[in-house]
Chains A and B, each alone.
Chain A
Amino acid sequence: MLEQSFWDEMNASGGDVRSVYAKIDAWLRETPPDVLSARRSQAELLFRRIGITFAVYGSKDASERLIPFDIIPRIISQSEWGLLERGLVQRVKAINAFLTDIYGAREILRAGVVPDDLVFRNPHFCPQMAGRRAPHDIWVHIAGIDIVRTGENEFYVLEDNARTPSGVSYMLENREVMMRLLPDLFAAHRIAPVENYTDLLLNCLRSVAPATAAREPVVALLTPGQFNSAYYEHSFLADRLGVELVEGSDLLVRDDVLYMRTTQGPKRIDVLYRRIDDDYLDPLAFRPDSVLGVPGVLNAYHAGNLTLSNAVGTGVADDKAMYTYMPEIVRFYLGEEAILKNVPTWRCREPDALAYVLDHLHELVVKEVNGSGGYGMLVGPHATREERAAFREKLLADPVNYIAQPTLSLSTCPTFVESGVAPRHVDLRPFVLTGANGSRVVPGGLTRVAMREGSLVVNSSQGGGTKDTWIIEDPDMRALASFSSQRSV
């Protein structure tokens, strides 16, 4: 199991260079390591200057850290992307239908497709939303769907993020840095643009504004504040969107309308792109001790004077237990098979599955149903005997809280590390925007890379890095030939 071979996105399984990577391969061949190294230093300098850092919870020494950036782009062809895109849009459509249903008629529970208790006892199910509809029946305006690849046409969804997915600022910054750093390599490819993401996002948010909004709806971005790990992204996005970055204390609700305090008096807000969790959103409805939220904001939402993006209670659709039902959920609402596959998953809530998982801990990845960021998980093959024993106890104590998956043979991409260019495991988080006019996926996403050799954990909180993701036109062979001859002149 440990000796499994991995599919490399550049070399396939040790064979010829895949055509999409031909130019990257040529570039890597003819660029001396010291030049690559210099480029990497420049990249780091650029990121430092931009100030793009993130905080790691629970780490004392480095409260602000730079996410390692790898200068070798990850390449995906348009035809591969087309498949991914259709699958992503389908999945988000099903998630929105699911949320409309479980907070409404609950047909899927009546049909017995998803067990009642998985919804009603889910900590992210929000009773306050029952019987309510989201504007345009869109709950998840911004989704981040984590994708892994294991082979030529083998894509799997690793997890859905339907609450407040982050990382899009890295997608945008990585692209800018790459354009500045490697303009020749950039110009040699026809790369689909991601720069228009913020325009699309703003259009999306405005399209779901309540009917009572002004003709040009006012959007604001609500952040928990500068101590949040994603604060950089919040300020970055507010800046790019051209909207106010606000904290709870800047806002007030009067007569079920949300206002922000300005020097010219209160100004109405129609759409709140909130980057704080449900629990903290409204002390009158959720945690009464929250000082991050706005008292009465849920009333404004219920009264139809405000759109919250994403809607409240979407977490019930993205937890890891619900994930296992996603193929059935797609089938139930859309009458189609899911285009993107799920990773085979054992639900430890089921006794047979639990028994299997306990017997195969050494080869499985066990995750908490509601965990994120790579915390609270066991990577069986890499764990010590003691770690496995400790996890066995946890599993037995609370099986409902866990799922297990095989250790996937995540694809690798060439990555510039200390020892030179070497394959490292990657995943991909594309962002799906859904507004009144349908879903859009910006071609690209955040590629995360596990910088340590053999590591499968790509989370930035666990030492993962990022790469720019290039969706390029399917290469045609003549153009390739001319590129090589040009370069060798």
Chain B
Amino acid sequence: MRIVIRHEIEQSFEPPVKSLNQALRLTPRSHESQHVVRWRVETDGDSRLRLGEDAFGNVVHALGVSGVTSQLRIVAEGVVETFDAAGIVRATVERFPPGLFLRDTGLTMPDAPSREIAARISGGNMIERLHTLLLRLQHGETEARDDEAAQTNPQDTDEAEALAHRFIVCARLMGAPARFIAGYVLHPEEREGKRHVWAEAYVEGVGWIGFDPVNVICPHDGHVRAAVGLDALDAGATRAAPQPLSVASSVSVRRAD
């Protein structure tokens, strides 16, 4: 599927700041089931963007602004060609052995509920256990959602993030390296997609497999992977210091005509 994405972020600073630095992880990379046809990241104002790569192989733009700033606009847009691979992610840029992704982080500390969920999953091979986890999380964690509401609800990505973290914690407790993925999704039956986050777990002999706990599916050709990390902090679209007072984002994800 050919997907056109436009992600616009408006930040405002009050009081205005004299200098700011940000890290933007807004650029997808190609891998076996995802080919980036074209992509660009732009900002307005007196700012500079410098292209780099972080420890996980994400494309990062270091954004620097000197001079008094009260408003900043960041736009990422491009076209990505995707292929369905049943959630299996191959030929990605990997800078670490999978074992690194067993690390706990501040946002993925094992807690009692996660330990309980992980402890109750047994039998079958690791892929089966991870699928069981995917089902359990959805049923145990959230009430049935109205899909209309999910489209417009700003809490939507928060929920997806919480579930992805929970999945990651449980998978690691079960012995599978797991990581956080940020990107975009366009479901087959929908006209407009959105910003989205999910997880990946590593299974010996198979490789990295995507799991999308909010949608209880493995990623399909509507999922576009933009950044990877140990948790949401590593993979977030922007990291800013000083923090903006408010952020407004608009995301458009559509099938190319």
Contacts and interface: CB of A to CB of B under 8 A. Distances in A.
A3 interface: no
A120 B23 contact: no
Report whether over half of chain A's contact residues are helix, strand or loop; otherwise say mixed. Answer: loop
Contacts of A128: 54-55
B66 interface: yes
Given A116-B99, A120-B102, A288-B239, A254 B64 contact: yes
Given A127-B96, A128-B54, A252-B19, A296 B64 contact: yes
B160 interface: no
A40 to B, nearest CB: 47
A130 B21 contact: no
Contacts of A296: 21, 62, 64, 241
A453 interface: no
Nearest to B230: A127
Contacts of A284: 21-23, 239-241
Contacts of A288: 233, 239, 241, 243
B53 to A, nearest CB: 9
A120 B100 contact: yes
Nearest to A282: B241
Interface residues of B, number: 30
Nearest to A286: B233
Contacts of B22: 284
A319 to B, nearest CB: 14
Interface string B95-123: 11101101110100000000000000000
A130 B241 contact: no
A313 to B, nearest CB: 11
For chain A, the bracket of interface size reads 20 to 34
Nearest to B53: A131
Interface of A: 116-117, 120-121, 123, 125, 127-131, 252-256, 283-285, 287-288, 295-296, 299, 302
A295 B21 contact: yes
A127 B56 contact: yes
Contact of A116 (B54, B97, B104, B230): B97
Contacts of A254: 19, 64, 66
Contacts of B99: 116-117, 120-121
Given A121-B103, A284-B22, A295-B241, A127 B55 contact: yes
Contacts of B96: 120, 127, 130
Nearest to A116: B99
B127 interface: no
18 contacts: A117-B99, A120-B96, A120-B103, A121-B99, A125-B103, A127-B55, A130-B95, A254-B64, A254-B66, A255-B48, A256-B62, A284-B23, A288-B239, A288-B243, A295-B20, A295-B241, A299-B21, A299-B52
